[in-house]
Structure 1
Amino acid sequence: MQQVDLLADRQRGVLSRAQCLAAGLTVEQIRWRLTSQRWQRVHPGVYVCHSGPIDPSTRASAALLACGSGALLGGRSAGRELGLLDDAPEIVEVQFPHRRRVVAPAGASVSRVRQLEQRRHRRAAWPPCTSVEDTVLDLAEAANAAGAQAWVAQACQRRMTTPPRIEDALDRRARHRWRDLLKAALDDVVDGAESIAEMRYIRRVERAHGLPTATRQLRSVRGGRRRRDDNAYVVQKVLVEVDGQVGHVGVGRLADLRRDRASAVEGWLPVRVGWPDVGEQCCATARDLAAVLTSRGWTGQLRRCGPGCTALTAPGEHRGSERGGLVG
């Protein structure tokens, strides 16, 4: 029947028993499709309308229908639908209204959520899922501190949402384990940070040690190409590029080198910091950067970030865990 086929196409080849009956199929017609193996039963009362392999997207749709009215994909399942994750999770994550009780279908986890309708993504396409902002908050809730900040940075960097929209979603929640941390991370994103490494640079190196405030994501043309620099100290003409945990290798590394040469030709001093430099070696990084900035006219005063800070210790005097300086 055409109505059944259209609905199945919309729902990635999945139908519920109730939908089939509402569309005009009889119980005998449903049974014949199953016994002839034209359809597959994946959950009680939920059918896949073909006999081939069931891919992750189809499995997610089936779990939604098994959970009934008002259910949404959430967590990592919603993240994959929205493009925050590349790989499908092994377990389909489904959220449903708090007033209902649902037994988790095979291969899925379920959670009851108050005011779930407020978290629904306002798109018309199947499958229904949580909004980008609420998905980011769910993913952050399940992550460690660094991971929580990384989810916020990633969503904003990909232009999928904005800090104010995430903050609005956070304010609607009575509880979130990383509320204060995410509020600070959102401030960093507004300030121009686009990754967890850049957030750490702003907070642990620059602000904590009293360095001047850089211009974030400065756009310019150098060497005949458009550039965007992570942190530009315009007065001193110093560029600080922050590489993440992996950094650039191969072609990316060669592009970095060409970029640095083009900057140097126009009088800028390019400095690169890596992941350790914004973590356990942040005090040494601040000390070295202060020296660089001072050599180019900065007259400010470096300060300690805390009792154990080694930023004011001369290089070589400290024999603790910090040995770092700048990378590149």
Structure 2
Amino acid sequence: MREQPPELADAAERQQQIVTRAQLLAAGFDDMYLYRQTRRSQWQRVLPGTYALVTGTLTDEQRRIAAALYAGPEAQLTGLAALIWYGFRQSPRTDDVHLIVPHHARRSSAGFARVARALALDAKARQASVYRVCSPARAVVDAARDLRHLRPVRAIVAEAVQRGFTDLARLDEEIGRARRSRTALVRKAFSEVVHGVRSAPEAELRECLTSSPVLPEIRWNPRLTAGNGTSLPTPDGYLADSAVALEVDSQEYHFSPGDWARTLDRHNELSRHGILILHFTPAQIRRDPARVRRTVEDAYESRRGLGATNRVRVQPIDVPGNDG
């Protein structure tokens, strides 16, 4: 095997052993040599005009680099691939790498590289190793437009806000930019987050209870204070008139002994101020929503009016609108 020129070795190191045909030709190799190297399984042709100078399965980062090199220097990583790069925990996994390129670019999708032309690239994109990554807000909206079910869209929208990847204003701006093109699901999920929901299971509980003819407005993730002004733990949902709190107990948040102890502390502190706490799992909400709704309705009716005597107050919050 011929020794790599220093400039190619440097590029290969920087690009995690992913290089383009143009880089190889500039280093003095010809197409016949590239063909022999791949035929002998010394290298891999991973995308048109894009090679891995190693064998075996590519890592996620190598796939991102390969797709970006294939798509061109103006390409920006977006969608689920960008969410995975940011470290979203609730993002569905995918082997595809979604990129956007300028509308005038002549590059189409190939292999795991999904390339879409955009009228406007993301001005807030950030530089990664050898490619640019769209802002979390743009990546969330682009990912949501490709998803076909509400549950994963709810999950990524809620996580984006809950973990501080972006805020409501930026999400609203990106939804408005996308207009009405495949945005029904992300608009619904955004509306739920605007009203206080902070996870997909909470959104499913809210949807379950919205159809109730008995229940009044439920405040989601409200700020509660005791009569002396001290802050109380924030329940997932709260019915102020009956002092009933709703909690969605996901295994993700209650798996360790420390998490369970904090849950008990929150429960006890709310109970000390006369609040009844109802606990539901995501599985219960999905499997038997009618029973969950009936449980909340019965608790509300049995305690109606008690909220006026327990001196717990719900602090007002500004609820932004969505005009996009």
Alignment TM-score, normalising by the size of structure 1:
0.69
1:189 to 166, 184, 193: 193
| Percentage identity across paired residues of the two chains | 24
CA distance in 2, matches of 1:19, 1:134: 31
- Quote the residue 1:134 is aligned against: 138
1:73 to 72, 77, 81: 77
Amino acid at match of 1:280: P
Deviation string, structure 1 residues 91-147 (Cα, Å, up to 9, x no partner)? 3334433333435433x1534322252377233443333332222123222131233
Deviation string, structure 1 residues 5-36 (Cα, Å, up to 9, x no partner)? 443333233121324556xx223699489749
2:177 to 172, 175, 183: 172
Deviation string, structure 1 residues 167-192 (Cα, Å, up to 9, x no partner)? 1011111433343x533432432332
- Quote the residue 2:96 is aligned against: 91
Q: What secondary structure sits across from 2:221 in the alignment?
A: strand
Query: Once the 2 structures are TM-superposed, how far is the Cα of residue 283 of structure 1 from its aligned partner?
Result: 4.3
1:88–1:6 CA distance, 2 compared to 1 (3 A): farther
- Quote the residue 1:54 is aligned against: 58
**In the TM superposition, what are the counterparts of 1:3-152 in structure 2 within 5 Å?**
3-20=7-24, 25-27=27-29, 31=33, 35=37, 39-51=43-55, 53-84=57-88, 89-106=94-111, 108-118=112-122, 121-141=125-145, 142-152=147-157
- Structure 1: tracts of 5 or more residues without a match: 300-328
Q: What secondary structure sits across from 1:27 in the alignment?
A: coil
Contact 1:134 1:169 in 2 (8 A): yes
1:72–1:55 CA distance, 2 compared to 1 (3 A): same
1:12–1:76 CA distance, 2 compared to 1 (3 A): same
CA distance in 2, matches of 1:122, 1:269: 46
- Quote the residue 2:313 is aligned against: none
Query: What root-mean-square deviation, in Å, do the aligned CA atoms of Structure 1 and Structure 2 show?
Result: 4.0
> Which one has more relative contact order, counting CA pairs under 8 Å at least 6 apart?
2
CA distance in 1, matches of 2:66, 2:265: 51
Deviation string, structure 1 residues 21-77 (Cα, Å, up to 9, x no partner)? 56xx22369948974977544334322244565323212321322233433333322
- Structure 2: tracts of 5 or more residues without a match: 310-324
CA distance in 2, matches of 1:212, 1:75: 35
How many residue pairs get aligned? The number is 292
**In the TM superposition, what are the counterparts of 1:129-278 in structure 2 within 5 Å?**
129-141=133-145, 142-179=147-184, 181-202=185-206, 204-205=208-209, 209=213, 211-214=216-219, 216-218=221-223, 227-232=233-238, 237-244=243-250, 248=254, 251=257, 256-275=263-282, 276-277=284-285
| 1:290 aligns to 2:294 (yes or no) | no
Deviation string, structure 1 residues 221-263 (Cα, Å, up to 9, x no partner)? 9xxx994432345675443212359885674556534542343
